[in-house]
């Protein structure tokens, strides 16, 4: 797994790393922030409390089926 800031994988590469056993999906959470609808999946490097890996940022959808303008979902993918 390469967590170099200059080369971030796209979401399909992260899925392949999960299938190959390099990463595991740790959990999904929400955070304060705006995620553009046009940028549906944004990958960011992660190094913190849960280990090293990536987070995937997606829009947060309300129970009424509308996109939230104040929150976004983040899914943690951590190196094994």
pLDDT, tens digit, 9 for 90 and up, residues 7-61: 789 999 999 999 999 999 999 999 998 877 666 788 999 999 999 999 999 888 8
pLDDT of residue 46: 96
Give the span between the Cα atoms of 66 and 68, in whole angstroms.
Answer: 6
Q: How far apart are CA 1 and CA 30, in angstroms?
A: 25
d(CA 62, CA 53): 28
Query: Residue 75's pLDDT is what?
Result: 95
Tokens representing 63 are: 């129970």
User: 61-73 burial string, b = 16+ CB within 10 Å, else e?
Assistant: eeeeeeeeeebbb
């Amino acid at each position: 797994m390469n967590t170099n800031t200059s080369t971030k994988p796209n979401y399909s590469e992260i899925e392949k790393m999960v299938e190959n056993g390099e990463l595991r999906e740790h959990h999904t959470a929400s955070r304060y922030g705006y995620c553009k609808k046009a940028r549906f999946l944004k990958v960011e490097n992660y190094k913190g409390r849960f280990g090293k890996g990536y987070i995937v940022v997606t829009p947060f959808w309300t129970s009424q089926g509308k996109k939230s303008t104040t929150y976004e979902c983040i899914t943690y993918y951590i190196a094994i």
